[in-house]
Copies of this chain bind each other. A is one copy, B any other.
Amino acid sequence: MGFLNCLGPRAIVSVLALSSLAHDVFARPSPEPKVPRIKGPGKAPGKRKMADSIKRAIAGNRRADVPDCAETTTTTITAPKANPWSPLTNEETATVVTWLFAQEDLNLTTTADAGSWDNTITLIEAMWPNKTDVLAYLDLNATAPTKYAHVVLNNMATEDAHYADIIVGPLPIDNVTTTWEPLSYPFTKKSGGTVRNLDADSDTLYVDWIYPISASIADITLDLWNASALGFDNDTLTIWGIDPQWQDDGRIIRWDAFWNVPSDEFDSSTLLPLGLYICSDVTGRDPSQWKFEGLLYNDIFYETIEDFRTAYWSPGFVKNPANINGDWSNTDQLGDIPAMDTAAPPVQVAPAGSRYAVDAEQKYVEWMDFSFYIGFTRDTGMALHDIRYKGERILYELSLQEALAHYAGNDPMQSGTAYLDTFYGFGPYAFQLVPGYDCPTHATYLNSSFYVEETCHTHIGSICLFEFDADYAIQRHSTSGYISITKNTYFTVRYVATVGNYDYTFSYSFYMDGSMAVEVRASGYIQSAYFANNQDYGFHIHDALSGSMHDHVLNFKADFDILGTGNSVQLVSLVPTTTSYSWSKGKARNTMKLERSFIETEDDGQFDWGPNGATQVIVVNENATNAYGEMRGYRILPFTGTAHLTVLNSSNLVNAAKWAEHDISVTKQKDTEPRSAHAFNSQDVWDPPVDFAKFFDCEPLRNEDIVLWLNLGMHHIPHSGDLPNTVMTTAHSGIQFMPSNYFAGDQSRRTVNQVRIDYANGSTTAVNSFGQYNVSSADATCKPDYTPVDGNLWAYTGDIVVRKFPFDPNNPFFETDSIV
């Protein structure tokens, strides 16, 4: 039960009673008769199902006789191998928790009982095996890699509060053979797998530090905004601050800002800054040693509360207006409805049912000639593994590594903000998707799970898989005698993670020509700035609001294995040239030519997309040439925009996000460098757990197992149209991977979903449809069952939670947490 790893079989019964949706969602992963996996072209599973669906279609094109279309049921298959990146099973997680609590040397306390000076378990999840072991398993029929649990402990029962990455195994737990040891080999920081925890005293911080300060100026906050923050549930102000905290000169400095609490149900707090900031030195674990370092209002710095109060109540003090929620900050329908908008818009349907196959338990997917496994982790959410075309691996791994949102401003809040989002994690915020909105209604929805506080949460329907007909053809050519044209049907795997204010939609798409795309689109609430004095850092977008400028940079790992692991990165550049030729009679010509080169070592391993897109980046296998001697490969192609970080040597980040500095980085693959970042890099920006710069140590990169680290991103200068939410039409970034001399010819020629129409003298003389649908076209007519999706939306439930310690699989409950 790897798929439903949080829930035991009996749990399903209980859950079903909770929600009518549960039936749909759980019906998919529940055991079904498996279609045996039949190898070979034209023998893939699903054929039989399609034949049935076609049988259901009866002849005749008259409207009244048209039958209903086939139902959309996902074809079930069995993965060729068990998923090496599958999560821990239900029982594995529970036994690891129990085992950990039994290790006296770990001195663990359950989260529910823990205070600021107790050790707790932050994370338990499967440790992804080393590539070396996985390749032996997948390619050489070695036994499956031994399973280990990756555990993160939050050791706060010490002056030096720290997180500790450890591994526990081998699994299953055996009281003799199972041990734990520090996990340090995948990290560049040589600290035995530990990194300090700057948030250890976060409870104390608010109760004993922030609220006393805000209470002490309640006279001012009430006068300014008729609001206060006293630490009560009905506080009308909220206070939070920079991330990462400043870590220079051995001190830990934080700036906190005052924000209005929305008076309605909308999550618009990040649109309501108030322009007051306080600075604290919170070095060390003894609050009595913490220091109030100053206060900023309207760009005037006050060293003490006293100074501020004196100034505030003096004549002539300039008071700025508040940002207050209203219709402008709410996402509901607002304004005059456009003409014809009240009619149902077009919608995509799947008249013949799904044309892909899924092993939901192993999270293995096949579409046309592509196949891949899905992995899912707390830090980085969904990853794709072992992406193959016709059984030949193209990518070993394609996965998000980290997402940075680096702000700037004249105020310390915006200036100090550079979110490294895997600290919060993408997995925990991969909320349930909305069918018909996030993905088509005909999509297949899978669950994902993550561990938190001795419970396992399952995000129901948080990954979707679907096929879609693009609005344009993939191929066409027309002449005065014929037209040849081919449908552009593609396949997408998607999930959405809402990390606080921002909703990231991650899409991985596959096309009939063998190309792929990775795309990120962003919506949700911007984090805005108080407008006063921020003119050089954003547009003035509402009453006292600045659309605070920021860079989004998202790092993806693309571990290509083109026909084996020995790959190179070739650069092919179009360069202007002036030259003469054997035929040009000595006359020089202004023209262009190609220059080819290779990235030789990691010294040259970081670079940007060049001017005018003139340099193409191709991952090739130098030893796998095609019939004409060209190296087979895949080109990396900017698609819907990319960006790297504008800021040079960021004061906020120091060494914590060196991956953000270039569009493309290339390293030699090492089991010791599986990820470019670490969830806790923000905790020690000078010496983070993973300093990406340290990956670059002159390793050769030709004919090696290489990894590309690719940045997507956008420079975001929010304008009034970002209110209330950023829109995904223009907030986008994407990269494509296209075959480059990889195949002998275009693979989309293989589809029957193309047509050649011959015509002459005003008549069609032939319609060559290549046996489309294996029946005459009239027979394939049917009526899809179209239902506006909101009829199904009463089944949105949020996360299902199962307690692991004590293990209580029969009493799941619902609880969804977002970052507030």
Contact = CB atoms under 8 A, between A and B. Distances in A.
A331 B477 CA distance: 8
A786 interface: yes
Given A337-B42, A503-B478, A515-B730, A757 B50 contact: no
A158 to B, nearest CB: 31
A46 B781 contact: no
A347 B344 contact: no
Given A333-B750, A746-B721, A68 B61 contact: no
A61 B774 CA distance: 32
A436 B351 CA distance: 14
Nearest to A572: B717
Contacts of A730: 513, 515, 637, 736, 738
A741 B541 contact: yes
A71 B487 CA distance: 24
B797 A339 contact: no
A593 interface: yes
Contacts of A663: 612
Interface string A362-377: 0000101100000000
A611 B611 contact: yes
Interface string A777-817: 11011111111101101111110100000000000011011
Copies in the complex: 2
Interface residues of A, number: 242
A785 B63 contact: yes
Contacts of A583: 255, 277, 279, 294, 296, 301, 411-412
A743 interface: yes
A467 interface: yes
Most buried by B among A440, A496, A736, A759: A759
Contacts of A672: none
B301 A540 contact: no
A431 interface: yes
A274 to B, nearest CB: 16
B777 A791 contact: yes
Most buried by B among A478, A490, A515, A816: A478
A336 B721 contact: no
Interface in A723-782: 723-730, 736, 738-764, 767-774, 777-778, 780-782
A820 to B, nearest CB: 8
Contacts of A466: 346, 471
A430 B342 CA distance: 34
A205 B486 CA distance: 39
B574 A762 contact: no
Interface string A468-484: 11011111111111111
A107 interface: no
A422 interface: no
Most buried by B among A538, A589, A753: A753
A574 B487 contact: no
A695 to B, nearest CB: 22
Contacts of A277: 583
Given A523-B476, A650-B591, A342 B784 contact: no
Contact of A356 (B69, B340, B753): B340
A18 to B, nearest CB: 5
A781 B788 contact: yes
Contact of A475 (B344, B351, B725, B752): B725
A612 B616 contact: no
A472 B515 CA distance: 20
A798 B480 contact: yes
Contact of A503 (B415, B477, B760, B772): B477
A816 B438 CA distance: 44
A716 to B, nearest CB: 9
A315 interface: no
Contacts of A638: 641
Given A505-B476, A721-B514, A762-B19, A576 B646 contact: yes
Contact of A749 (B334, B487, B741): B334
A46 B346 contact: no
Given A591-B647, A724-B749, A484 B331 contact: yes
A234 to B, nearest CB: 17
A232 interface: no
A773 B796 contact: no
Contacts of A743: 720-721
A756 B437 CA distance: 11
Contact of A746 (B75, B410, B725, B781): B725
A650 B745 contact: no
Contacts of A385: none
Most buried by B among A466, A484, A487: A484
A286 interface: no
A640 B643 contact: no
A608 interface: yes
The 8 A-B pairs at the shortest CB distance, nearest first, are namely A762-B814, A44-B339, A783-B783, A333-B770, A331-B484, A41-B336, A338-B368, A343-B352
Given A341-B751, A412-B584, A415-B589, 16 more contacts: A75-B340, A332-B749, A338-B750, A344-B351, A346-B442, A472-B521, A473-B505, A480-B816, A480-B817, A490-B729, A549-B593, A592-B646, A612-B715, A616-B717, A763-B814, A764-B796
